[in-house]
């Protein structure tokens, strides 16, 4: 019995509230996690779906997808009334159904909130007041007492202090701070940046960035058809000017559309299943395809599939290390391997890894082919292979990393990177979008640098043997027209 009790005590405490891919035709998908005693503000433009999100969490509106959990238990295990007693939603303009305030409380609830009334700057006689005679601010404060009297686990507040002055707002926030100290979790919709920052520190000073609710613009196939007219215009120009690229252009456009729709269909299934195995399989396919591309791009090939071995090792290690680090530290989804975050992030990182590694390999192999006499001259004088290849290794790594440096240098002034553009189109605050882009570019730099350095160093190792001889016989041209220059006898 003692062993069982100890095991129960050691079980990790689940988050108070977990939302995964919750959506409706008007909002979403949304994902968030709320711990006990935590208050997190939600920001977003008017009409972006903040209130809809709270109503979806409170089970007042039916979702079209996604899940919600309370203390590790799926919402489906609760009846509707049971759930809404534990997860209470308070609208921006709280409604009242009885003539006096006191009619909305039973005796036990009145005792529970007795001290809270004055804490909000209200007289005790407020509970006997007629609702119609109250000001908007008084109704907002009394609505909070009505919610807290029912001892919820989670409180969903929609612009709860919009009608309050600064002093009343302070009293409102002070009361919520004490409730957070007792374990209440709060989601708080506000348009005030200052209040968002204060709201995110109600739980003992822990600061979390406000969550942003974004408006998703859903495209129809008619919208895609209109965009396709641009490709048709270019094809017509090709015919008119006899450029002879119209067929390739139209075929590439159709192939691109089919490929992306197929990928979207597969990812939708993976996102819905939330299966770690499915996520891993998709990641393996992506890494394998990237490794094959890295191996095929250089003009020279190592024997026995050496190019692919180098590519597979460097691509897998650099991309996995970078993506896992980002998921566990900067992004922190729940679970950490959530495919909605892991797969897109891996795709972006693989693009940087692919370019850096392939450029580094191509430069190194070309350098070996061109500078073989100089390398062997150094070896003939007794210099170690490391010294003989040192400058070539540096030049190859430099060429692979320079495009990444250029990408960082141009970001913001010359170009607006893709992920930041997408977030701005979705309605994210520009500063928040810029922060995400900064993190992403730093991740891409780290992954690309690791891949390039690893690929070049592995190639340098494989072009030599245990006697530190230059094994040019292991290198062959990818195209028969090129050949390795012979050394002078």
CA separation for the pair 296, 316 (Å, rounded): 16
In angstroms, what CA-CA distances link 482 with 117, 299, 373, 478? 87, 9, 17, 8
Q: Is the pLDDT of residue 200 over 60?
A: no
Mean pLDDT is lowest, of 150-164, 174-188, 475-489, for 475-489
| pTM score above 0.85 | no
Task: Give the model's pLDDT for residue 317.
Answer: 95
Task: Give the model's pLDDT for residue 292.
Answer: 94
User: Quick count: other Cβ atoms within 10 Å of Cβ 58?
Assistant: 20
| Residue scoring higher pLDDT (432 or 91) | 91
Mean pLDDT is lowest, of 74-78, 87-91, 214-218, 421-425, for 214-218
Taking a C-beta distance cutoff of 8 angstroms, is the pair 68, 19 a contact? yes
- Average pLDDT in the chain: 83
Nearest to 36 by CA among 181, 173, 199: 181
Task: Give the model's pLDDT for residue 14.
Answer: 83
In angstroms, what CA-CA distances link 37 with 15, 119, 141? 10, 20, 21
User: Quick count: other Cβ atoms within 10 Å of Cβ 122?
Assistant: 21
3-state helix vs strand vs coil in the chain, percent to 5: 60, 10, 25
pLDDT > 70: percent of the chain = 85
Task: Give the model's pLDDT for residue 94.
Answer: 85
| Residue scoring higher pLDDT (140 or 274) | 140
Task: Give the model's pLDDT for residue 206.
Answer: 41
CA separation for the pair 88, 315 (Å, rounded): 48
28 three-state secondary structure: strand
User: Quick count: other Cβ atoms within 10 Å of Cβ 65?
Assistant: 14
Mean pLDDT is lowest, of 69-78, 264-273, 479-488, for 479-488
Task: Give the model's pLDDT for residue 359.
Answer: 94
40 three-state secondary structure: strand
What average pLDDT does range 459-486 have in this prediction? 79
Task: Give the model's pLDDT for residue 8.
Answer: 42
32 three-state secondary structure: strand
Handedness of CA 476, 481, 484, 486 (dihedral sign): positive
Within its chain, how far is the Cα of 177 from the centroid?
30
What single string gives the DSSP state of each residue in 211-232?
A: EE-----PPPHHHHHHHHHHHH
Nearest to 179 by CA among 202, 208, 197: 202
Nearest to 188 by CA among 166, 211, 204: 211
Task: Give the model's pLDDT for residue 295.
Answer: 93
Task: Give the model's pLDDT for residue 294.
Answer: 93
What single string gives the DSSP state of each residue in 99-121?
A: SBGGGG--HHHHHHTHHHHHHTT
Task: Give the model's pLDDT for residue 242.
Answer: 84
467 three-state secondary structure: coil
Task: Give the model's pLDDT for residue 481.
Answer: 43
According to DSSP, the β-strands at 27-34 and 17-24 are antiparallel
CA separation for the pair 204, 178 (Å, rounded): 10
pLDDT band at 434 (very low <50, low <70, confident <90, very high): confident
In angstroms, what CA-CA distances link 488 with 167, 298, 373, 377, 485? 90, 26, 8, 10, 9
Nearest to 400 by CA among 318, 468, 489, 484: 318
447 membership: H or E segment, kind and range: helix 430-462
At 446-471, the pLDDT tens digits run: 999 999 999 999 999 999 999 999 99
- Angle at which helices 221-241 and 246-273 cross, to 10°: 160
Burial 315-334 (b: 16+ CB within 10 A, else e): bbebbeebbeebbeeebebe
Q: Is the pLDDT of residue 214 over 70?
A: no
Task: Give the model's pLDDT for residue 245.
Answer: 84
Phi (first) and psi of residue 236, to 5 degrees: -65, -40
| Residue scoring higher pLDDT (198 or 403) | 403
What average pLDDT does range 354-371 have in this prediction? 94
CA separation for the pair 187, 122 (Å, rounded): 24
Task: Give the model's pLDDT for residue 195.
Answer: 66
Q: Is the pLDDT of residue 59 over 80?
A: yes
Burial 79-113 (b: 16+ CB within 10 A, else e): eeeebbebbbbbbeebebeeeebeebbeeebeebb
Taking a C-beta distance cutoff of 8 angstroms, is the pair 155, 185 a contact? yes
pLDDT band at 424 (very low <50, low <70, confident <90, very high): low
What average pLDDT does range 3-26 have in this prediction? 67
Phi (first) and psi of residue 214, to 5 degrees: -110, 150
Beta-bridge partner residues of 30: 22
At 297-356, the pLDDT tens digits run: 999 999 989 999 999 999 999 999 999 998 888 777 767 888 888 898 999 899 899 999
CA separation for the pair 449, 319 (Å, rounded): 11
Mean pLDDT is lowest, of 63-77, 189-203, 249-263, for 189-203
């Amino acid at each position: 019995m003692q062993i069982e009790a100890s095991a129960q005590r050691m079980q990790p405490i689940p988050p108070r509230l977990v939302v995964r891919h919750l959506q409706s035709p008007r909002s979403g998908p949304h994902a968030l996690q709320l711990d006990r005693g935590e208050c997190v503000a939600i920001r977003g433009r008017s009409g972006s779906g903040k209130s809809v999100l709270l109503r979806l969490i409170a089970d007042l509106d039916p979702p079209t997808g996604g899940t919600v959990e309370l203390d590790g238990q799926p919402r489906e295990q609760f009846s509707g009334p049971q759930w809404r007693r534990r997860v209470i939603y308070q609208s921006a303009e709280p409604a009242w159904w009885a003539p006096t305030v006191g009619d909305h409380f039973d005796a036990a609830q009145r005792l529970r909130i007795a001290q809270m009334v004055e804490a909000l700057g209200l007289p005790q006689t407020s509970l006997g007041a007629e609702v119609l005679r109250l000001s908007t601010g008084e109704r907002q404060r009394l609505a909070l007492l009505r919610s807290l009297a029912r001892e919820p686990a989670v409180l969903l507040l929609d612009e709860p202090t919009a009608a309050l002055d600064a002093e009343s707002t302070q009293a409102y926030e002070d009361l919520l701070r004490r409730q957070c100290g007792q374990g209440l979790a709060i989601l708080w919709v506000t348009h005030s940046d200052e209040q968002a920052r204060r709201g995110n520190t109600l739980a003992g000073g822990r600061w979390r960035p406000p969550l942003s609710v974004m408006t998703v613009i859903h495209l129809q196939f008619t919208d895609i058809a209109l965009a396709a007219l641009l490709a048709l215009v270019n094809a017509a120009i090709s015919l008119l000017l006899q450029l002879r690229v119209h067929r390739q252009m139209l075929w590439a456009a159709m192939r691109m559309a089919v490929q992306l729709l197929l990928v979207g269909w597969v990812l939708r299934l993976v996102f819905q299943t939330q299966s770690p195995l499915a996520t891993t399989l998709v990641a393996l396919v992506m890494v394998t395809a990237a490794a094959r591309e890295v191996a095929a791009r250089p003009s020279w090939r190592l024997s026995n599939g050496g190019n692919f071995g180098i590519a597979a090792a460097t691509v897998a290690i650099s991309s996995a290390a970078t993506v896992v680090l980002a998921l566990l530290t900067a992004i922190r989804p729940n679970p950490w391997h959530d495919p909605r975050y892991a797969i897109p992030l891996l795709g972006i990182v693989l693009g940087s890894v692919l370019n850096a590694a392939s450029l580094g390999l191509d430069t190194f192999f070309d350098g070996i082919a061109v500078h073989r006499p100089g390398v062997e001259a150094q070896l003939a004088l007794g210099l170690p292979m490391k010294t003989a290849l040192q400058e070539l290794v540096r030049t190859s790594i430099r060429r692979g990393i320079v495009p990444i440096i250029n990408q960082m240098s141009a970001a913001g002034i010359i170009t607006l990177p893709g992920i930041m553009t997408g977030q701005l189109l979705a309605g994210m605050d520009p500063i928040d979008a810029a922060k995400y882009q900064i993190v992403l570019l730093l991740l891409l730099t780290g992954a690309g640098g690791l891949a390039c350095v690893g690929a070049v160093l592995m190639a340098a190792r494989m072009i030599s043997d245990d006697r530190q001889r230059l094994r040019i016989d292991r290198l062959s041209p990818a195209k028969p027209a090129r050949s390795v220059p012979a050394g002078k006898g």
